[in-house]
Amino acid sequence: MEYQLAGEIEPQVIQRWEAFIAGQKTGSLFQMPLWQDLYNPKTHRWLFFEGEEKGQIRIVGLIRGRKIPLLGMDCFMERGPVCDDPALLIEGIKAILPLLKKEKAVRLRLNPYWEYPAGERLERDLQELGFVTFQGKFESHFETLTIDLQKPQEEIFKGLRKDSRWRVKQSKKIGVSVKPAQSREELESFYQLLTKMSRKKGMTIPSHFFFLKLWERVLKESGLGILLLSHYEGRLLSGVIITIHGQRAVYSWGASETEHLEKVSKNHLVLWEAILWAKGQGCMLFDMGGYAGTRGVNPELESIDVFKMSFGVNYCRLIRTHFYIFRKNIEKLLEFSSLTRKDLRTKWI
């Protein structure tokens, strides 16, 4: 196996990466080269890790490096590296470490998109390499709820809880409409709805710049996602952004009108249409985008869990975020300085 780490890749190699990731069960949009366009180039540096065997790509990893003036880089492979072979995945991660050390990395975070029980074994392998497990407040979810999209549509619908099936049918009956967003203005309306809801529920969302780039590069140009909006009597009720990660679709962001509307279900129909869209795209699995499991700790998030669970889902555990420290003294400095990023406020497990 030949490994390399580069600061940029050629267009033809980008196409090979995209094809490889799309064909992997553990593939992720976050590992696509286009994902770098959603971040400020002044504060981030990107590295491309690749392992080839006999001219065939076997493992890839897009590394987002946060520049730390005079100190080095804080590196993250979000939902990466991508490789469906567990032994090769660990071999590749082991090969990344000395390459990143030469790039003056302070630490590396990663959370490959692997489900338990295989993910549990991989977590042990990571810890044997010296990785530490934690889950920060703003990390990607490691517990989620999924729907098997390989089932017939009728069977998936029957899997919904009885009241959810009724709400989907009732929404159609009273005239709620669901359509894909076609303009930036519609994205702006959704973002305003999302901002309003996130403040009420105490949630954190990406920046306005991030969503503009997501709209341009992911939803419009690449077709790796969709923004669906629901309306009732000309009023925006709700919206969901679904993104495609390899062979699965992920419910990435959703928002609905916070005001009470009697006899109108704001979320059920739009999510059902999102599930149908994902199935139509050939996705094998629909990931509900996380399961908080707060159990009374946060009533707002718990209500979201209850809503997701009404869609006939299966519980799924994923690999947690792990990090590897290259330079312990600097890492400790980061933890106690103003340089520490908000999403590195960690909860040790």
Render 325-342 in DSSP notation, one character per residue: ES-HHHHHHHHTSTTS-G
pLDDT of residue 260: 67
Cα 19 from Cα 30, distance rounded (Å): 14
Cα distance between residue 122 and residue 89, in whole Å: 9
Alpha helices in the chain (DSSP H): 11-22, 86-102, 118-128, 153-158, 162-174, 184-201, 208-213, 268-280, 299-309, 328-335
- The pLDDT of residue 68 is 79
349 contacts 134 by C-beta, under 8 angstroms: yes
Give the pLDDT confidence score for residue 297 in this predicted structure: 55
pLDDT, averaged per 10 consecutive residues of the chain (349 residues), comes to 94 94 95 93 92 96 88 91 97 97 93 96 97 76 95 97 95 96 97 90 87 96 96 94 96 86 86 98 95 65 86 93 84 52 39
Query: In the beta sheet, which residues pair with residue 254?
Result: 240
What does the chain come to in residues?
Answer: 349
Q: Say what the pTM is.
A: 0.90
CATH of the structural domain 144-316, one choice from 3.30.530.20, 2.60.40.180, 3.30.390.30, 3.40.630.30: 3.40.630.30
- What pLDDT does residue 198 have? 86
Alpha-carbon distances of 268 from 71, 148, 178, 275, 336, rounded to whole Å: 49, 18, 11, 11, 44
Across the beta sheet with 314-317, what order do the strands follow? 177-180, 225-232, 235-245, 248-256, 285-287, 143-148, 314-317
The SS3 of residue 77 is: strand
pLDDT of residue 52: 96
CA distance 296 to 303: 10
Q: 60 has which bridge partners?
A: 50, 82
CB 47 within 8 Å of CB 39:
no
Closest by Cα among 133, 144, 149 to 274 = 149
Domain limits of the chain? Answer: 2-136+320-342, 144-316
- Are the CB atoms for 160 and 310 separated by under 8 Å? yes
In this predicted model, what pLDDT tens digit does every residue of 260-282 receive, in sequence order? 677 788 899 999 999 999 999 99
Same fold, 2-136+320-342 and 144-316: yes
Give the dihedral of Cα atoms 67, 72, 78, 82; nearest 10 deg: 130
Burial (Cβ within 10 Å: 0-12, 13-18, ≥19) of residue 149:
buried
User: pLDDT value at position 134?
Assistant: 75
Contact assessment for residue 5 and residue 47, using Cβ atoms and an 8 Å cutoff? yes
Fold adopted by 2-136+320-342 = Aminopeptidase (3.40.630)
The residues that bridge with 242 in the sheet, in sequence order, are 226, 251
User: What is the predicted pLDDT for the residue at 330?
Assistant: 66
pLDDT at 137: 61
